[in-house]
Amino acid sequence: MECQDYGLTRKSERENLNLNPLQRGGVLPKEARKALYEFSDGYSVCDYCAGRLDEITKPAINSFLDDLANFIGTDHARTVHGAREGKFAVMHALCRPGDTIVVDGNAHYTTHLAAERCQLNLVDVPHSDYPEYRIKPESYKQVLDDQYDRGEDISLILLTHVDGDYGNLTDARSIGKIAHDYGIPMLLNCAYSMGRLPINAKELNADFVVGSGHKSMAASGPIGVLGLKDEWAEAVLKRSAKHAVKEIEMLGCTSRGAPVATLMASLPLVMERVKKWDLEVQKTRDFVGKLEKLGGVKQIGIKPTEHDLVRFETPIFDKIAQNHPRRGFFLYEELKKRRIIGIKRGQTRWFKCSVYGFTQEQVDYISRAFAEIVSAYDDIS
């Protein structure tokens, strides 16, 4: 048999400005590209393994994990395949089928899947109404009080630090405090925050944090981070009865390959870039301001935004689409002509985007592009 042509080229980042929030934090700096080249073969990081991935000294995965734990304010850090796999490992170690966990109403679908895979009951903490969709500490308290009144035990509280729908930054510290008052551990999903903004699990009252290398830490996927307090190490990093050094929830070793090398290479740069987070937020707010000035464009979620992922409602583009021969495709096509991508084909009523990591010049170009498109269709909008 013959293989089909899989089209293994990707020009998205090379030839375009990609507004997809999923892609903005995972672009590799040259240091990580070099590491990828060095560690490209199979089990490349395992040349000097003595039985534990997290203890390998060449390359220095052990020192890296120490630095990483320091950086995120946890007692222990492990690499996992992604944030979702980290969430699953914690749920699987701490909960039993039928247990109940409490989760924010803006949780990523993988939180639901990890819980479903563990056969857990999910109780949602509702977000506030349109257009803010805010997750409030008092809502967590309310849900926990309700569950307590019903005599329901809660095994774990999960909070999405920054959600992927609205880019809302939650008050983790207060919610973590509530969790502690109830004596329930809290897992903070930092897929959209760790590596973009400074995270300190201890200050945020989080027992566990998970992060995503490919989403926000300038690493090649799949790679994630699991950080935890020492008091949970016995449960989550429990070792095998048969193979004394191997951690059960890690299935022995996790990231045995190139992605971990890219995460390591990027860490020093990531530690620097989180210090400039305020500039990223300001850049995003300016961008939002310019787009809203066009009229018929409105950012929803918390305002002013506290994150680079923003969601816009765009009745102006929907109106144009209704009168445009290319219908809903016009926006994608107009942007593509200007080498801007990352907004789904056919989408005109609303979209999510991010200008994270772009220079001010690039952001200005993007704002102008939107303005040009609006004015080009002045007659049909």
Binding mask 202-241 for its own copies (x = CB under 8 A): -----------xxx--xxxxxx----------------xx
| Residue (11 or 325) nearer to its own copies, CB | 11
By CB under 8 A, what part of segment 19-48 binds its own copies?
A: 20, 22-23, 25-28, 32-47
CB of 173 to its own copies, least distance (A): 22
The partner residues of 252 in beta bridges, in order of sequence, read 247
| Residue carrying the six token digits 């016009």 | 330
Q: How far is the CB of 75 from its own copies (least distance, A)?
A: 16
Q: What is the DSSP string of 222-262?
A: S-EEEEE-GGGHHHHTPBPSSSTT-BTTTTB-S--SHHHHH
Q: What contacts 369, CB < 8 A, 6 or more positions away?
A: 334, 335, 338, 340
Question: Site residues for its own copies, window 109-168 (CB under 8 A)?
Answer: 109-110, 112-114, 116-117
Query: At 280, which amino acid appears?
Result: E
Locus of tokens 């309700």: 146
Residue 317's alpha-carbon distances to 314, 320, 325, in angstroms, are 6, 5, 13
Residues 6+ apart with CB under 8 A from 228: 74, 75, 76, 90, 207, 208, 209, 236, 237
Of the candidate residues 251, 279, 376, 380, the single one contacting its own copies (CB under 8 A): 251
Q: Taking the complex as a whole, how short is the minimal distance between the CB of residue 95 and its own copies, in angstroms?
A: 13
**Nearest-approach distance from CB 215 to its own copies, in angstroms:** 6
Q: Binders of its own copies among 2-21, rule CB under 8 A? A: 2-10, 12-13, 20
Positions 55 through 74 that interact with its own copies (CB under 8 A): 58-61, 63-64, 66-67, 70-71
CB-nearer residue toward its own copies: 261 or 320: 261
Of the residues 139, 168, 255, 305, which one makes contact with its own copies according to CB under 8 A: 255
Residues with Cβ < 8 Å from 271, sequence gap 6 or more? 71
As measured in angstroms, the least distance from the Cβ of 96 to its own copies is 9
- Smallest separation, CB 337 to its own copies (Å): 18
Interface characters, 76-115, with its own copies (x: CB under 8 A): -----xx-xx--x---x----------------xx-xxx-
Residues from 259 through 318 that contact its own copies (CB under 8 A): 259, 261-262, 264-265, 267-268, 271
Residue whose C-alpha is closest to residue 204's, from 174, 162, 173, 183: 173
| Cβ partners under 8 Å of residue 186, min gap 6 | 156, 157, 158, 159, 175, 176, 179, 180, 205, 206, 207, 208
Residue closer to its own copies, measured from CB, 22 or 90: 22
CB of 174 to its own copies, least distance (A): 27
Minimum CB distance to its own copies, residue 163 (Å):
15
Task: Name the token pair of 150.
Answer: 């019903």
**In this structure, is the dihedral angle defined by the CA atoms of residues 118, 217, 23 and 257, taken in order, positive or negative?**
negative
| 3-state secondary structure labels for all residues of 166-187 | CCCECCHHHHHHHHHHCCCCEE
Q: Which is nearer to its own copies, 47 or 138 (CB)?
A: 47
Nearer CB in complex with its own copies: 65/288:
65
> Cβ 307 to its own copies, closest distance in Å?
17
Collapsing DSSP states into helix, strand and coil, what is residue 294?
coil
Among 155, 160, 254, 305, binds its own copies (CB under 8 A): 254
Q: How many residues bind its own copies (CB under 8 A)?
A: 89
Q: Which residues does residue 26 pair with via DSSP β-bridges, in sequence order?
A: none
Asked whether the beta carbons of 159 and 191 are under 8 A apart, the reply is no
Is the Cβ–Cβ distance between 201 and 188 less than 8 Å?
yes
Nearer to its own copies, 80 or 302 (CB): 80
> Distance between CA atoms of 328 and 318, rounded to whole angstroms?
7
The arrangement of strands across the sheet holding 350-353 comes to: 298-300, 310-313, 350-353
Judged by beta carbon, residue 39 or residue 317, the one nearer its own copies is 39
- Cβ proximity to its own copies: between 221 and 315 the closer is 221
Binding mask 353-372 for its own copies (x = CB under 8 A): --------------------
